[in-house]
Amino acid sequence: MSQAKLSGIFTPNIVCLDNSGNIHEGETRRYVDWLIDKGVHGLYPNGSTGEFTRFTAEERVRIIEIIADQVNGRVPILAGAAEANTRETIRACERYYDLGATAVAIVSPFYYQIGPEAVYTYFKEIADNSPIDVTLYNIPLFASPIDVDTVSRLADDCERIIGIKDSSGDIPQMMRMIAQVRPNRPDFSFMTGWDPVLVPMMWVGADGGTNASSGVVPEITGKIFQLASTGQWELARDLQYRLLRLFDAMIFRSEFPEGFREAIKLRGFNTGTGRQPQGPELTAKLQVLSQDLEKMLRDEGFMQEAQTSFQSHPTTAGIDIEAIVRGVMAELARRGLAQ
């Protein structure tokens, strides 16, 4: 029933918007092609980074239509299918199955905090009625947590549930899940959604990650995955540290996910302005973020080949992320690790 086990780096991609705040289809398609060309292992539209709550249900379907059409089978698509109730979520599962998604990711109930038994029955209802494979999405910051015993029960009782994306960043939690689930379900995927712990999560047995940073520097997250997968932990750890400060700046120095949206602009894409109103104060924070990113990237040695200005995007305070990536990849090539 299930397809190949989900593994690697899946990009929770941002949707490009036009000047009116509507979906910019052409730019979104161009961004999808770029991500695939840069080696991401899969795409994860309609996730948190993709601001699924800020689009209508019809727009969420349209996003999957665009991405599935553009991907055209080149990489798997893990489509975010979280809706406000089981009925609408199952309907989204049916629609995304028809559009050719590989699997769906479903967050546990949000707004109402519910206990483990209610979380179990929620996912059981969906799994029993979904035509498409389901990945659990644990993000306790925003939704009811999915504890280890509940994951284990669902894995045992629902063949349709094939994995979990865990964005808690809790390494012992991941270890307990793997220890409890993997012996009975070796096909079950464990993906981390918290970028700063990609390497340690893989070290304890995770299969990869759904990482927002991969939408900005897919070359680097892909290299981390390759190094970790081949046991080159010291080199993987080095890149993890070099990625950490970039991630921290993007996520903590602005309203999420505007820091990522701003950084993707530096890679040459017109991502537009997010639908969350910014205002002068938040806009000023984004300008400060650009300045801090530039200094941080210089301090970390990422800008070995960077120019001091980036004329095509004058609002980005001179940060050339394309050159940053070239610098990192050049260093990897010097070490004989660029393949």
What CA–CA distance (Å, rounded) separates 37 from 224? 17
- At 263 the pLDDT is 86
Q: Six-digit token pair at 133? A: 């494979």
Render pLDDT for 172-204 as a digit per residue (tens, 0 to 9). Answer: 999 999 999 999 999 999 999 999 999 999 999
Say if residue 326's pLDDT is above 70: no
State in words which class domain 8-334 has. alpha beta
Q: Is 38 a catalytic residue?
A: no
Can you tell me the distance from the alpha carbon of 321 to that of 271, in angstroms, rounded to the nearest whole number?
A: 15
Q: Please calculate the CA angle 25-102-244 and round it to the nearest 5 degrees.
A: 75
Which of 191, 189, 127 is closest to 154 using CA atoms?
Answer: 127
What mean pLDDT is predicted for residues 28-42?
97
Average pLDDT taken over every residue of the chain: 88
Instruction: Collapse the DSSP code of 324 into the 3-class scheme (helix H, G, I; strand E, B; otherwise coil) and give the result.
Output: helix
What is the reported pLDDT for 265? 83
* Residue 236: predicted pLDDT: 97
Q: What angle do CA 268, 274, 275 make, to 5 degrees?
A: 155
Cβ atoms of 210 and 193 within 8 Å: the answer is: yes
The tokens describing 88, both together, are 């609408």
pLDDT tens profile 113-134: 999 999 999 999 999 999 999 9
Residue 288 banded pLDDT, cuts 50, 70, 90: confident
Mean pLDDT of 90-115: 96
pLDDT at 240 over 60: yes
pLDDT score for 316: 41
Rounded Cα distance between 336 and 339, Å, is 8
Residue 78 C-alpha from the chain's centroid: 10
Q: Can you tell me the mean pLDDT for 305-325?
A: 44
pTM above 0.85, yes or no: yes
| Residue 137 designated active-site | yes
Structure-model confidence comparison of residues 277 and 171, the more confident one:
171
Can you give the pLDDT at residue 193?
96
Of residues 21 and 301, which shows the higher confidence score?
A: 21
What is the residue-wise DSSP string for 169-226? --HHHHHHHHHHHTTT-TT-EEEE--GGGHHHHHHTT--EEE-GGGGT-HHHHHHHHH
Q: Where are the domains of the chain?
A: 8-334
Identify residue 307 by its one-letter amino acid code. Answer: Q
User: Stretch 43-59: mean pLDDT, rounded?
Assistant: 95
Out of 17-31, 118-132, 212-226, 266-280, pick the least confident.
Answer: 266-280
Percent of the chain whose pLDDT exceeds 90:
71
Percent of the residues in the chain that have a pLDDT greater than 70, as a whole number: 85
Q: Find out whether 4 and 187 touch, Cβ atoms under 8 Å.
A: no
pLDDT at residue 323 in the model: 58
Residue 38: band (very low, low, confident or very high) from pLDDT cuts 50, 70, 90: very high
Q: Which of 165, 223, 241, 295 is catalytic?
A: 165
In the predicted model, what is the mean pLDDT of residues 74-91? Answer: 96
Q: Which of the following is catalytic: 137, 223, 285, 295?
A: 137
- Nearest to 202, CA basis, from 236, 168, 242: 236
Cβ neighbours, 10 Å, residue 278 = 15
- Please state whether beta strands 208-210 and 103-107 pair in parallel, antiparallel, or not at all (unpaired): unpaired
Helix, strand, coil % (nearest 5) of the chain?
50, 10, 40
CB atoms within 10 A of CB 11: 31
* Res 278 pLDDT > 80: yes
- The pLDDT score that the predictor gives to residue 104 is 98
